[in-house]
Each structure stands twice: as structure tokens, then as C-alpha cells.
Amino acid sequence: MTPINVLPHAIAAARRGWSVFPLRTRAKRPVRTFTDWERHATRDENAIRAYWGAHPTHNVAVACGPSGLVVVDLDTPKDGETPPPEWARPGITDGVSVFVTLAKEHADGDTSWLNTFTVTTRRGGLHLYFAAPEHAAYRNTTGKLGWLIDTRAIGGYVVGPGSYVADADGCGSYTVTNPADVAPLPSWLAELLRPTPVPPQRPVSVPLVAHDRRSAYLRSAVTDEIRRVTQSAPRNHNNALYQAAVALGQLVAGGELTEHEVTGWLSEAAAQVGQKPREIPKTIASGLRAGAKRPRRVAA
């Protein structure tokens, strides 16, 4: 199937005040020259015309953060996929039915979400576009609202209208099915999506006896890696945790530290910056395994 002419859709998005950037032909990934897509996304019509004039088959993406958007992605199940136990209820068949149930439980009669800019996705799901509240810092979520519901905000993007995607799990176009103005993020939805506050940072205790040069070195090494985690940027927490685990894993493999104490220190640091509890042990274990390949000892 020949992709839809994306250019007018990209222009229409820019005129709504949204920042856009190109995706690969028939795909959802940014083109290689737009790896820093959040910074390069634009609403400049001349730049948009020039780019898609030269690359008419490339898809278009809307960068949610720079566009001030929170987009709710209501997906459809893949073949054989069934609701988890908490959503195994009568009438629950996809992300839309889960979202309708949430609205009934939380919206208190607010139906504004029914009349916002809406795009039907390639597999029959929906993208509901909402204006993010001022001074809010909503980020991407996966399953936080419920089964088959993700959200895209700061740090995320959605495939824009006019695009055509061909993936192993389905092919199709992204089509505007409600061209209404973007509604403000409903208060009930804003509350459900409110980011969990990051607990205040506190010093991580490193009980190493520093009576000689070796112990002093180890204390400094551990403190530096803890600081790498606690001072990492929000989008880099997991990578910082992995790198810290690799560095300290070398010392564990060299017999200078124990895996138990390193895991404890790094787990506490990761919790302070709001890492998801289920991700922390996996990331640390992966880093320790990588570090073990290059054991490191400290001279006495």
C-alpha cells in the first residue's frame, strides 16, 4: 500500500502548535538523522515543507513534550492476548473499554474526553490528544491506567495522522476521526496520572573503614558511583544505575566488595531517584554480570 501524503498532515499539526519530526518509511522509528528528536522537532512550516518535499514517504511523529500534549494510547489486544486478572470483567475487550470503565469510575460525569482530537491507529486503537496542564511534568506511562493503555507526554512521541505503518503485528494508517480542538487533560485523568513524588534524597551510608589508602579508595569509588545514580537526569536513571553496577561489579569480582553490599547501596540510591522497584534488581544484576568480566583489585 502506498503511504498517505504526509505533508499536509504535518503542516496541519504544526498549525495546531505541535512540534513534528520524521519517522522512517512505513515505520515508527525516527530517521537516523533525528536521534535527538525531541530537540529537533519543529513547527516551522518552511522546514516541514522542505523536509517532506524531499522525503515524501517518511512518516510523521508528534513530539508530545514540546507540543504541550498528553496523548492517551488505547490499544487493541494482539492475537491470543487476554485481560490480566484485575481487568477480567464483562465487556472488557481492549484499551477503549478499559478507559470507558475508568471514566465511569472516576470522571464524575465529566465527558470532555469524548470530544477531543482523536486519531484511529493502524490496529483499530485510538490516540486521544489532551493539552497538558501548565507547569505539570507528566511523563510516559505504560499500563499505569490499566490494560492496553499507555500515555505519551514529556520524553515521548506518537505516530502522527497521515502516517502508514507496516509491522509484523499489523499494518494500517493513522487517521483523524475527530478533528476537534484538543481538550484540557480532564482533572480525574490528571489525578490518575500524577507522577509519584520522588522521595527526598539523603546520604547513602557507606560503612567502609577508611584507615588506609585502599579503604579510602574504595569509599571514594563507591561514593562516586552512588552520586552517579542520585545526580542522574530523569531520562538517564536506569543507564546511570547500570553503569554504576558495572563499575562496582568489577570490584566485586576482584574480591574488594561483596555483591550484597553493592546491591544494597545501589538499590537505595535508585529508590531515591524514583526508579521502579521491579527494574532496580534487574538492572543492578545485569551491571554486576558485565563488571564481573573485568575484575579489578586495589593495590594495598
Domain ranges of the chain: 7-193, 213-291
Helices assigned H by DSSP within 137-176: none
Work out the pLDDT band at 218, boundaries 50, 70, 90: confident
The predicted structure's pLDDT at residue 155: 85
DSSP state of 55: -
Please classify residue 79 by burial: count the beta carbons closer than 10 Å to its beta carbon, then call 0-12 exposed, 13-18 middle and 19+ buried.
exposed
Work out the pLDDT band at 207, boundaries 50, 70, 90: low
Return the bridge partners of 60, or none. Answer: 22
* Percent share of the chain, pLDDT over 90: 59
Mean pLDDT of 91-117: 94
| pLDDT, tens only, 243-262 | 899 999 999 998 888 999 89
The predicted structure's pLDDT at residue 230: 87
7-193 has which fold? Answer: Prim-pol fold (3.30.2250)
Work out the pLDDT band at 60, boundaries 50, 70, 90: very high
Lowest mean pLDDT among 43-57, 204-218, 229-243, 284-298: 204-218
C-alpha angle with apex 171: 169 to 172, nearest 5 degrees? 140
The predicted structure's pLDDT at residue 217: 80
Cα separation of 42 and 53, whole Å?
15
Across the chain, how many H-helices and E-strands are there? 10, 12
Does the structure show a pLDDT above 90 at 277? no
Structure-model confidence comparison of residues 10 and 196, the more confident one: 10
Q: Which triple of cell numbers denotes residue 262?
A: 553493592
Cα separation of 88 and 297, whole Å?
54
Please classify residue 236 by burial: count the beta carbons closer than 10 Å to its beta carbon, then call 0-12 exposed, 13-18 middle and 19+ buried.
middle
The predicted structure's pLDDT at residue 164: 96
Cα separation of 125 and 172, whole Å?
11
* Phi, psi dihedrals of residue 19, rounded to the nearest 5°: -95, 135
CA distances from 14 to 9, 111, 144, 151 (A): 9, 27, 29, 21
The predicted structure's pLDDT at residue 204: 54
pTM: 0.68
| pLDDT, tens only, 153-174 | 988 999 999 999 998 888 999 9
Does the structure show a pLDDT above 90 at 1? no
